[in-house]
Structure 1
Amino acid sequence: MTGLLVVTAVPAEAEAIQAGLTDPTVAVVPVGVGPAVAGAAAARLLALAEGAGRPYRGVVSAGVAGGFRGRVPVGGTVLGTRAVAADLGAESPDGFIPLDDLGMPAELLGGGTSIAVDPTLLATLRAALPDATVGPVLTVNTVTGTAASTEALSRRHPDAVAEAMEGYGVAVAAAHAGVPFAELRTVSNPIGPRDRDAWRMREALVALTAAASALR
């Protein structure tokens, strides 16, 4: 059995994590942006490891994220409690309807649109990162970029702390493989009207390097 598999969206995130690692058994792989490619790549990596007789002990979706104002600061670290597919569902005159509420048979929903992280893995990360903000992390296909969409998203998910684009896909892959899952993010910008000049990517990557020592 091998150690943790950590998947990121882009190489810069992987490099930031590798710079802070203290455990040589942790594998860090950039797999691409979005839940579909992240889920497919994570599933392949988990299957290859299992087929080789060296399954991973767990998989972590890691990288930078947007944080909800008042819930987590820019540069802060987030540990997810659940990976939520925040825009998987249907629009209606009465508002957004999550896929879970559309009346589909349970067998078609997989793990549902909200997948809990592994409690043991989360507890280990929380012990190593006591100052991290803990709460659900939303997975979106379209990054939130207006005040109206931010308000709607915040209203639907009042306990969510951040949004990113890969966690739910990786969580589904982990659930199908029977492997513990967790999500670790650092915040580069507040969720809201899109303003690239206000993003603090460098600070978020530095924070990701600092948090990487918890991955063991």
Structure 2
Amino acid sequence: MDFEQTVEKSQRLFPHELRSKNRVLVITAVSAERDAMLRGLLDDTRFDVLAAGVGSVVAAVNTVKALSSDEYSLVICAGIGGGFSGKAEVGSLVVATEIVAADLGAETSKGFCSLDELGFGFTRVQIDANLVARVSQALQEAKLPVTTGPVLTVSTVTGTAASAAELASRVPGATAEAMEGYGVGCAANDRGLPVLEIRAISNVVGPRDRSAWQIKEALDALEAASAVLTEVLL
């Protein structure tokens, strides 16, 4: 089922007149993340969960499509991601305090220069601090391990210790990395909607070692987090 068919099915199952005004659009990258969210949400009709594809651009495009087809009060980018060593442990959750497009810019003889520094735009999507506090506190009260901090959006997943160290230096406090948050955040901002990013950590940011990834555990954490959202986002 493609993205447009998923949106159409959601609208058919839950017609506009039957929906709560306080509705949430949840964007994941892939179907496994979407399904984990749906298991936790238990058919709560306030939430639409859509797998928009991998990467910031396709996520932005499909978020705009979804926002054009219905009315929402909040957009959440959710899924698994990598956690920076010492910041977010594998199996834990991260609630973003800001979303940072960490590799959007230019290389110079003095190092990386961000889009902001170039004067061509912005690389940071701000997130409402009260919303972050509400969600992270609810997750803690549910006995789920959770950290807050900047979540990086990258076009190329980090695969070396040197790259991980460079990103951590470039964005002080960097907690996790993924590939869709910035695109989803820009789409939400364009509509004047608040955005939230939640990541369940499946691996440590650094040398690529698929044998060490704990995807099932991360998806389980994502499912548990989504169950909490039904209580806190009333």
Normalization by structure 1: what TM-score?
A: 0.91
**Identity percentage of aligned residues:** 49
1:75 aligns with 2:91: yes
Question: Residue 28 of structure 1 corresponds to which residue in structure 2?
Answer: 49
Pairing partner for 2:29 from 9, 21, 35 = 9
Pairing partner for 1:56 from 72, 94, 109 = 72
- What SS is found at the alignment partner of 2:50? strand
Question: Residue 131 of structure 2 corresponds to which residue in structure 1?
Answer: 121
Q: C-alpha displacement at 1:2, in angstroms?
A: 4.9
Q: Residues 93 and 147 of structure 2 are in contact (CA less than 8 Å); yes or no, is this contact kept in structure 1?
A: yes
Question: Residue 202 of structure 1 corresponds to which residue in structure 2?
Answer: 216
Pairing partner for 1:99 from 115, 118, 129 = 115
Q: C-alpha displacement at 1:43, in angstroms?
A: 1.0
1:172 aligns with 2:192: no
| Residue correspondences, number | 205
Distance (whole Å) between structure 2 residues aligned to residue 45 and residue 97 of structure 1: 33
Distance (whole Å) between structure 2 residues aligned to residue 2 and residue 43 of structure 1: 18
Q: Residues 136 and 147 of structure 2 are in contact (CA less than 8 Å); yes or no, is this contact kept in structure 1?
A: no
Q: C-alpha displacement at 1:120, in angstroms?
A: 3.8
Question: Deviations for 1:67-89, whole angstroms, at most 9, x for unmatched residues?
Answer: 00011100000000101000000
Question: Deviations for 1:156-209, whole angstroms, at most 9, x for unmatched residues?
Answer: 112010000000000000000111100011000000011111100011001111
- What SS is found at the alignment partner of 1:204? helix
RMSD: 1.2
- What SS is found at the alignment partner of 1:150? helix
Distance (whole Å) between structure 2 residues aligned to residue 119 and residue 29 of structure 1: 25
Deviates more, 1:1-10 or 1:167-176: 1-10
Pairing partner for 1:65 from 59, 68, 81 = 81
Q: Which has the higher contact order (CA 8 A, sep 6+)?
A: 1
Q: C-alpha displacement at 1:12, in angstroms?
A: 0.1
Distance (whole Å) between structure 2 residues aligned to residue 183 and residue 43 of structure 1: 16
Question: Residue 189 of structure 1 corresponds to which residue in structure 2?
Answer: 203
Normalization by structure 2: what TM-score?
A: 0.85
Distance (whole Å) between structure 2 residues aligned to residue 4 and residue 215 of structure 1: 10
Amino acid of the structure 2 residue aligned with 1:146: T
Question: Residue 44 of structure 1 corresponds to which residue in structure 2?
Answer: 65
- What SS is found at the alignment partner of 2:206? coil
Q: Provide runs of 4+ in structure 1 moved above 4 Å.
A: none
Q: Which runs of 5+ in 2 are unaligned?
A: 1-20
Distance (whole Å) between structure 1 residues aligned to residue 92 and residue 221 of structure 2: 7
Question: Deviations for 1:4-30, whole angstroms, at most 9, x for unmatched residues?
Answer: 110000000010111111533111110
Matches within 5 A, 1:126-145: 126-130=136-140, 131-145=145-159
